[in-house]
Amino acid sequence: MSYFYAFVLLVLIELFYFQLADRFNIIDKPNLRSSHSSITLRGGGVIFYFAAVIHFVMSGFSYPWFFLGLTIMTVISFLDDVFTLSNKLRLLVHFSAVLLMAFELNVFDMPWYILLITFVVVVGVINAYNFMDGINGITACYSLAVGGLLLLANRSIHFIDQDLLIYTMIGLLVFTFFNFRTKAKCFAGDVGSVAIAYILLFALGALILTTGKIIYILFLSVYGIDAVWTIARRIYLRENIFEAHRSHFYQYLGNEAGVNKLLISFLYGLAQFGVGLLVLTIAEHNMITQLVFSFSLLIAMSTLYLFGKAYLIRKYVKV
């Protein structure tokens, strides 16, 4: 029953937030990066933080460093949604929050250079997750897929409190109801995409540290392929990678090719869930098998991605 009560409470919190967002004009206006054409409430993804709050209280205040890091990430991201803050301030807070995550995961016995690289990668992944939030339902579908994979893994490995994942999934379902629509009631905003990325990365980090198997990073491979190759192309074209754009693969599909955007979001989540199921199977094999699988998968995904994107650009993009 506690899960049902949490669901009802999160729905009420989301509806209350809508009233506040409408009153204080917290909205998402279409811009160069947008794939929508109408004004929509921004920041509905704040519900992910409140899902974590429920777990924090119900669990007797477990994972305090993680929760503190999530809190400062949520606050700074919400302020950025409302006021637009400087990149330097946001990155400073992001690194501070990742440092708190590292305290929770107790990783400071690693060499300093490994920690530094890991911090940079984690901050990069969080921001990439945020940048991928460009069409209705994509953050919802993709996060449900990753969260579902973590739940499956946790049933046998027990690397994290299962309730943290369950309450997170409940929050995602509430958000999905309002976001996975042709005309969304709300968007996640930076506060939502950053918060859910932080939660999922904390759980993923716990999984990798518990098992010692880096292959689980492929739980983020679909987003990773799109984000990395998009950044590489923009650097090649000498574009400012920090400026708004609509050059992700899913954006070309939805905006230029005219594919239904909800279908695209669903397929991104489905693709990641399918890859994740393969990862769960291969993770039971030896290291050589894991490495061969990982490299083969990334090469195959990259090949399909690059040829598919090149086709879309040739056919639909006016140069």
Q: Residues annotated as binding site for Mg(2+)?
A: 130, 190
Q: Which amino acid is at 289?
A: T
CB 150 within 8 A of CB 219: yes
Spatial CA neighbour of 47 closest among 81, 67, 18: 18
**CA–CA gap between residue 269 and residue 302 (Å, rounded):** 17
Q: Are 43 and 206 spatial neighbours (Cβ–Cβ below 8 Å)?
A: no
Binding-site residues sit at 130, 190
DSSP 186: B
Are the beta carbons of 46 and 74 closer than 8 angstroms? yes
Long-range contacts of 291-298 (CB under 8 A, 24+ apart): 293/215, 294/215, 294/218, 297/218, 297/221, 298/221, 298/225
- 27 φ, ψ to 5°? -130, 165
